[in-house]
Amino acid sequence: MQPVDLTTLIAAYCELRTTWLPARLEQVYQRDRHTIFLALRTLTGRGWLAVSWHPTAARLHLSDPPPRKPDTFTFSDQLRHQLGGLAFVAIAPVSPWERALDLQFAQRPGDPVLWHLYIEIMGKRSNAILANADNQIVTAAHQVSEKQSSIRPILTGAPYALPPSLTDPIPNLSEPQSRWQERIALIPDALGRQMLKSYQGLSSHLVKAAIASAGLDFEQSTHSLTPDDWNHLFACWQQWLNFLQTCQTGDLSAIYPHWTETGYQVINWNHNPEPPDFKSVQDLLNRYYTDELNGFDFKQLRHQLSQKLSNLLNKLRVKAQGFENRLQESSEADDYRAKADLLMANLQEWQPGMKAIALPDFETGEPVTIPLDLEKNAVQNAQSLYKRHQKLKRARGAVEPLLAAVRQEIDYLEQIEVAIAQIDDYREPADLQALAEIREEFIQQGYLTDPDYKRQTQESTPEFYRFVSPSGFELLIGRNNRQNDVLSFRVATDYDLWFHTQEIAGSHGLLRLPPGAVADEADLQFAADLTAYYSRARHSEQVPVVYTEPKNVYKPKGAKPGMVIYKHERILWGCPQHFTPPT
């Protein structure tokens, strides 16, 4: 994950200073232990400022509204108490060439500053610190004791101290090329590493971009550069310094937020005439870190759910196999009764000391060998066989419903397994939401425990897969059991058509039809192909898919999420290989 460097931070805070000052702080919300959101209102609008001290994603930018979940963090309570209703009047670096900003709050614009919220974006040492007008620390996201750092402890009641100054030279726009080149080429080493060692304010992403723009390589030796190479690289160096100077004067025209192969940049190194990928650095940072952090959460959650599901299914399959073995044994109940009847009809053939007796079958006349207990007579042996017959018969009656329940639970979990398998990688926030809904379902069904879990009083809007059929009809497909139920019993109307793979775990599909419209063969085949694709049979050539009117789809009483029965169905053969998923 690309960290916010000094260049990006300056571009971001210059945008904020130009467009969001002054503003009224209306609300403080803490999403997690690393991120707070400040609701700001200006004369032209309202927005959320995300402030994060995440060890790998520390940042400051305008953001989407935070999720509506309870805020139980002490840090946000303290900020809310001290800063609520005040005016956000200024933002500035705490020191030149430091990745730390001072957000200042006053009663109203023009009044003396009452509070300073220091945001330090320094990798693992990132922090958010609230200090009063006398620069005394009132609270901090991370308190640092003297045992943890004798150089710079951060404690409530102590004065706020600037981060320790760096000793590397400070970049200077007026520095001549000869002196600049002498610093970098002093020690023969890789060009990129020498630049990073020689000056403050640089990051590896920035240096790589500048070197690439000059047509050079990060790893090439400083001694291999020609005079023209040095001239090109110095021109890029000057472009960077001019960019910083221009931004800090309030001119935002030089900011060019765009994607790169490895992340993002805010400088138009190659003077690309195309418009940038984003209108502002705020939009770029919001998109990049939302996707990166969501992707990280997605991988963790998917791994957790997959592991739990695999363990559950393995145990249930072993349990089902045990029941099946017991049923197989109980299928021999009639054999025991037949042998007992045969023995009772031929008591005269028994002799003391016999370990087995061969008697002719009643119907075929073929000899039937019956094992005997030496300590019992013929009648007692027959009674034992009758008892065995009754026991196995009772076992069948007891085991059959147990096996049916286990198989039903396996079918339900296999439905979830398919849903998780279909969401194989993070592409959009809806992917993470779908996994979060599956996790919530696991908790509600008792498969997972979470002491901090609280059921949402207001359910989020489902983000179905959405497609358009050849005739222009909308096709909706659920991403998980919750969405399948919503699709089948809330969204569906009498005019729609409902699709599902026949006796194969998969998603529910709904072809939306306006009143009076009729789907033709191409529409039905399109819906069948996609329904087959979003099922366990994704890799098959042909898959049986049933479709019917939603009024013919029912949820049995007590059925688990996503489990339904249907009637009056018609069958199509879906071809999942005909569908090419979007990248």
Give the chain's largest Cα–Cα span.
122
pLDDT of residue 495: 93
pLDDT tens-digit map of 147-181: 888 788 899 999 999 888 878 889 999 999 999 99
Bigger pLDDT: 353 or 60? 60
pLDDT at 393 over 80: no
What is the length of the chain? 583
pLDDT interval class at 312 (50, 70, 90):
very high
Indicate the SS3 state at residue 572.
Answer: strand
CB 102 within 8 A of CB 91: yes
pLDDT of residue 180: 94
pLDDT of residue 368: 85
The secondary element (H helix, E strand) that includes residue 370 is strand 367-371
Q: Tell me the C-alpha distance between 580 and 203, whole Å.
A: 40
| Segment 428-446 mean pLDDT | 91
Q: How far is CA 473 from CA 93, 339, 519, 577, in A?
A: 55, 67, 8, 21
Q: Supply angle C-alpha 534, 536, 540, rounded to 5.
A: 90
Q: How far is CA 437 from CA 41, 285, 290, 313, 520, in A?
A: 33, 27, 19, 20, 34
Who contacts 159 (Cβ-Cβ below 8 Å, separation ≥6)? 134, 135, 136, 137
| Segment 204-232 mean pLDDT | 94
Who contacts 328 (Cβ-Cβ below 8 Å, separation ≥6)? none
Q: How far is CA 184 from CA 165, 212, 227, 229, 574, in A?
A: 21, 17, 14, 13, 64
Question: Sign (positive/negative) of CA torsion 397, 400, 406, 412?
Answer: negative
pLDDT of residue 276: 94
Architecture label for domain 6-140 = Roll (2.30)
Q: Average pLDDT, whole number, for the chain?
A: 91
pTM (2 decimals)?
0.80
